[in-house]
Amino acid sequence: MKRRYYNGSDLSRAVTIEDLRRMALRRLPSFAAEFLEGGGEDELTLAWNRDVFKTMRFEPRMLKDMMVVRTSTMLFGSEMASPLVIAPTGHTNVFRGGGDVALARAAAAEGIPFTLSTMSNTRLERLAGEAGGRRWMQLYILGEKAVRDDIIRRAEESGYEALVFTTDVNVPSLREWERRQFRKTSKLNLPALVDVALHPRWALDVLVPNGMPKLVNIADFFPDEISSTDRALALVRKEFVPNITWDHVAELRERWPRKLLIKGVLSPEDAQRAADVGCDGIVLSNHGARHFDSCLSPMEILPEVAAALGDKLTIVIDSGFRRGSDVVKALALGAHAIMVGRATLYGLVAGGEPGVRHAIGILNSEIERVLGQLGCAGVDELGPHLIRTNPTMPHAEPIGRAV
């Protein structure tokens, strides 16, 4: 039977993250929808990020008292209401006016950390003032400029708890989808412009108040260019340099006094190196399959990394998480927390801050239900003995992009 999804715009009637995704895609013009959904090249890894969960199934334990099931967990010595962290996403205000702040406020209200991107449309100081809660700062090292020093200093002064250094776009991808939407850097082509005109609700929310959102977090480094989003983006893209190595991580370790995580790790060797240079954690990630097509899903490598690293590092994982069952599988296989990127962005587009809270609420209630069905009263009772993995996947389905 064909699965049906909610097709309206009443947030409270969205039952799943997929419902929110469909609501979000109806609201966005095509270039923004592609920016949200797009993956590298043929999107094989984008599909695999979802399909990999089908290769893992639960082996439940029955007849245990599940009247009280706890989703809370400890991360870096503090309790959080559920094992979720909002992932860093750049240019978030393109999806919804005030997007960064809405995400951060929702995270604070739901008792989970929020990660601000270097490429945010909100300055990190402003976000700290307006959102509160547990905040992590994501870092890109850009070219010769001292962006890195600036971000580190400001994040420390503004009380960010952790620095998340992203390593997987040092060699950037072609972003083929972007080329189909733009006639030159950040100049939309005619069909994309017409599509913008067909989305007045989005234009009124995003474009009319302030024009295209700018990369204000790094504005001091590109003072002239930043006034124009096109030039800023072109310039920033050139600043992603491929000569970043573990020496940079060691340097960061010396400068940043709080928790340091490396995002984009996909092998036990690199996880070990992260531990060796003194990182506190890693984010196993393929960047939501946005860049490197045909690379593996972090879920495939998680059991090996967890076995090799044990308690030496905090293991955060992301890429493809859309269901509470996905989250529980990762926790059972050794992750300590799960970053969500698109899942909360769908909520943001569909309903602003309440939409993000709705997305987190959907995931939390699914996590709680799966824990109960599995016979675990809390995430601390999970373990690999509860998962059966079958690497052959008979029912791989195309993901069916709706944009």
Ligand X SMILES: Cc1cc2nc3c(=O)[nH]c(=O)nc-3n(C[C@H](O)[C@H](O)[C@H](O)COP(=O)(O)O)c2cc1C
Assess whether 287 carries a catalytic annotation.
yes
Catalog residues that contact ligand X under the rule CB under 6 A.
35-36, 49, 87-90, 117, 119, 138, 166, 263, 285, 287-288, 290, 318-321, 340-343
**Shortest separation between residue 36's beta carbon and ligand X, angstroms:** 5
Closest CA to 387 of 315, 331, 308: 331
Q: Which of 287, 291, 336, 358 is catalytic?
A: 287
Q: At a CB cut-off of 8 Å and minimum separation 6, what does 35 contact?
A: 91, 94, 178
Q: Give the span between the Cα atoms of 42 and 277, in whole angstroms.
A: 35
Q: Which residue has the tokens 């996909």?
A: 266
Q: Which of 168/353 has CB closer to ligand X?
A: 168
Look up residue 403 and give its DSSP letter.
-
Residue nearest to ligand X (CB): 341
3-state secondary structure 38-70: CCCCCCHHHHHHHHHHHHEEECCCCCCCCCCCE
**Shortest separation between residue 85's beta carbon and ligand X, angstroms:** 10
**Shortest separation between residue 169's beta carbon and ligand X, angstroms:** 8
Q: What is the amino acid identity at position 280?
A: D
Burial of 178 (0-12, 13-18, 19+ CB in 10 A): middle
Q: Which of 138/186 has CB closer to ligand X?
A: 138
Q: Which of 58/240 has CB closer to ligand X?
A: 240
CA distances in angstroms from 300 to 52, 55, 59, 297, listed in the order given: 8, 10, 18, 6
Q: Give the span between the Cα atoms of 390 and 209, in whole angstroms.
A: 51
Q: Which residue has the tokens 């002064």?
A: 157
Query: H or E element: which one contains 180?
Result: helix 176-181
Q: Which of 113/288 has CB closer to ligand X?
A: 288
**Shortest separation between residue 115's beta carbon and ligand X, angstroms:** 7
Q: Which of 270/376 has CB closer to ligand X?
A: 270
**Shortest separation between residue 105's beta carbon and ligand X, angstroms:** 19
Active site residues: 287
